[in-house]
Amino acid sequence: MKPQQNSKNMLQQIRAVMAGNADAKDRLDKLVEVIAKNMQAKVCSIYLHQADGFMELWATKGLAASAVHQTRLAPGEGLVGEVVSSLSPLNVENASNHHLFSFHPETDEINFLSFLGVPVLRAGQLLGVLVVQDDKERLFGAETVEALQNVAMVLAEIVASGELISLEELSEAEIHSTRSHTLHGTSIVEGLAMGVAVMFEPHMIGVSRIAEDPEHEIERLESALDDLRKTLDRLFMGKGHAFGEPAREVMNAYRMFAQDQSWFERLCKAAKAGLTAETAVERVRGEYRQRFLAARDPYLRERLHDLEDLSNRLLRHLGGVAIARDLPENTILVARNIGPAELLELDRSRLRGLVLEEGSRTSHAAIVAAAMRLPVVGHLLGLQANVLGGDTILVDGENGQISIRPAVETENSFIERLRVRRQRRATFAKLKNSPAISIDNQRVQLLLNAGLGIDLPHLEETGADGIGLFRTEFQFMLADHLPKQAQLIKLYAEVLTTAGDKPVVFRTLDLGGDKVLPYVSHAQEANPALGWRAIRMAIDRPGMFRYQLRALIHASAGRTLRIMFPLVSTVAEFLQARKLLEQELARLTRFGHTDLPVKLEVGCMIETPALVWQLERLLPKTDFISVGANDLIQYFFAADRENIRVSDRYDPLHPSAVSMLGQIVQAAATHNIPISLCGEMAAQRTDAAILLALGYRQLSVPASAIGPLKQLILSLDIADLSKSLAKWMAESNPDIRKRMRQFAKNANLAM
């Protein structure tokens, strides 16, 4: 019998067991007997996850019956524990010889050699482990592994439905506290929001999990997928335009993913094995989720969010259910994750914030949320377990945390923060046309960090002095193919036109590391952050680099083109990159192109400590430099600022870091080379004040930081602070941050 036919027969037998009138224990016993027989195995066991983290044996065919409810495996214990840890199948030909084998005498397990265990997962959550064993030393075949995964998928729905097992038996009765609770995560989109929780519950599994007619299920899948694609096309032509080019680019990439033939083929394969269309979607979702989460490629991990969203939408099309649009006023949407299309379909006028159990700053949903100006906090572990629909939630996108069911005092304090934030925004709006001039009459240029079309209106809104950093890689990352040069020229020209007489500095492609393109082959690296990325890629494989340079040159016709190169480690690297730019310009001139810039300025980013010790040779070769403080400081301390375990070692105001930043600005002054600084420290008023005291007069920051920084500068005597900083640095081990806070208090600075 073919494996697929065998799987289908087994699922039909399981269905018959479920339809019987026997009590729960008898049906569980019959269930493991059916699985063991069809798998041609001596043993089948079901372990279920308990509230205390232990895995408890709930049913078995082949092990000692007395071991049921007596055998409990501690977290991570044995081969079952390894399945739990990896959330993937474990296939072992001789279990007793495996280094993780854990023997429990009460099971009489010693005579069984081969072991196959698969996780019982539902919507990414572990419910248990399904195990088959045999007395022969062998590896189970790939078809057997897949069949057992199909059974585990059905078992997950049986367990979750409570048809066989009371859920109270599996976990302690979960009583949601009425007390306030704070969860700490990551700020994905900055902002503050207050509202009521609305649970985003996209999963829809039909009552039936085992198909009577597989061909009919495949037809249902084809029809639902066709409806899904048409809906996405309509959304792309409608709301895909409403929030600008980034949302449109995201939706286009998303539509292409929905056309993926391999996704449909996997769905059909699961249906042919005997699963209903809905269960097939969940089965394939789990398969992809397991594979994508295990991938080191950040792009693949981000595509998981698209797949999750598409799966949810497909389930709704299968069930004929539309996404809920009747949101209450002041909705805070609560979800494990969400896709860009789901977000676009919701009523933005009622949405106040979004909180995610997962989520990331580079996901497609984050890009769309930023376009919608929706505060988002992600990486909130335990979010859905702690929130009930209707709970009041305070979303703090500034500090990356949320408050659930806040105390009256906390809520009142947050309302005051919202009020002050609105007042401050009104104050900053009044300052937008005023130059940033300190009390001692020193002019500071506050420049904007940008990278998408939606950032351009911030120039006018904030009164920024220009764009100090335009990140050019986003257009390459948002699509599934190389952007057309005409598209790049159009975007770059739009940036320059919007800026008018204000300067714009384009940073060339900073790809590699955690920024991987789906249409460019790449090798996995042990340490991507220190690997083949940015200018290194541009020099070694100049095709895409020159492609971008041509677009920048054409877009700058009749204007000044300012370009800087990222992650330069040596003067030789900078000169190689500059030579490629000059060759491209000469080539276009030679071929008679007249749409060329009237002036070219080439700069270098100072992001590696190695380059700090080459400034005397570098500066005469540059037109300007920009200190990329984020990378420079983390490489200086060899501490990843995103890693919570070592982030306390990353301190831009440590005396050694302050000394290095001072050396750079002094070297630039000696050679009369313009210098700016971009990075998170430039946007923090305490850190920015120290930068001003060191001599920096150009800071490139996010739009939200320009108003607060301007207010600070207008209240600051930079010369006075410079004298104080010199005294602090003369001490043996000064706490610069503490000293700066005291200075700000004494000087009544707008901090």
Dmax (CA) for the chain in angstroms is 89
In the set 203, 317, 364, 379, the catalytic residue is: 364
Q: What is the CATH number of domain 3-170?
A: 3.30.450.40
Tokens matching residue 220: 């249902």
Rounded Cα gap, residues 488 and 734, in angstroms: 48
Which two structure tokens, joined as six digits, stand for 62? 């082949």
| DSSP H stretches of helix in 87-213 | 142-161, 167-170
Secondary structure in 3-state letters for 240-255: HHHCCHHHHHHHHHHH
> In the annotation, is 364 catalytic?
yes
Tokens for 615, please give them.
């400034």
Residue closest to 578 by CA, chosen among 613, 609, 624: 624
Q: How far apart are CA 682 and CA 691, in angstroms?
A: 8
Q: What is the CATH number of domain 444-519+530-701?
A: 3.20.20.60
522 counts as catalytic: no
Residue 715 CA to chain centroid, in angstroms? 38
List, in sequence order, every residue forming a beta bridge with 676; answer none if it has no partner: 626
Q: Tell me what the mean pLDDT of segment 135-145 comes to.
A: 87
CATH code of 176-203+328-415, in short, is 3.50.30.10
> What percent of the chain is predicted at pLDDT more than 70?
82
- Measure the CA–CA gap between 65 and 670, rounded to whole angstroms: 84
User: In the chain, what is the straight-line distance between the N-terminal and C-terminal CA atoms, in Å?
Assistant: 75
Q: Looking at residue 661, what is its pLDDT?
A: 97
By C-alpha distance, which of 427, 431, 478 is closest to 451? 478
For 427, phi and psi rounded to 5 degrees? -65, -45
Choose the weakest-confidence range: 208-222, 240-254, 457-471: 240-254
Give residue-wise pLDDT tens across range 146-204: 888 888 877 877 776 666 666 555 554 333 445 678 899 888 888 899 998 888 765 55
Taking the domain 205-320, which CATH number applies? Answer: 1.10.274.10
pLDDT at 717: 96
Q: Are 131 and 92 in contact (CB under 8 A)?
A: no
Task: Please give the average per-residue pLDDT across 723-743, as a whole number.
Answer: 94
What is the overall mean pLDDT for the chain?
A: 82
pLDDT digit string, tens, across residues 104-118: 888 887 778 899 999
Sheet of strand 181-184: strand arrangement: 181-184, 401-404, 392-396, 192-199, 331-335, 351-356, 376-378, 186-189
- CA-based nearest residue to 186, from 401, 499, 395, 15: 401
Give the residue extent of every domain in the chain: 3-170, 176-203+328-415, 205-320, 444-519+530-701
pLDDT reported for residue 1: 44
Residue 478 has pLDDT above 70, yes or no: no
Identify each DSSP E strand in 385-508 by its residue range: 392-396, 401-404, 436-437, 443-450, 467-471, 504-507
The predicted pLDDT at position 542 comes to 85
Q: According to the model, what pLDDT value does residue 455 have? A: 76
Sign of the alpha-carbon torsion through 499, 502, 508, 509:
negative
- Between 163 and 313, the more confident residue is 313
pTM value?
A: 0.58
Same fold? 3-170, 444-519+530-701: no
Q: Which of 44, 268, 604, 678 is catalytic?
A: 678
pLDDT tens profile 440-456: 999 999 999 988 776 78
pLDDT band of 618, cuts 50, 70, 90? very high
Question: Region 118-147: what's the mean pLDDT?
Answer: 85
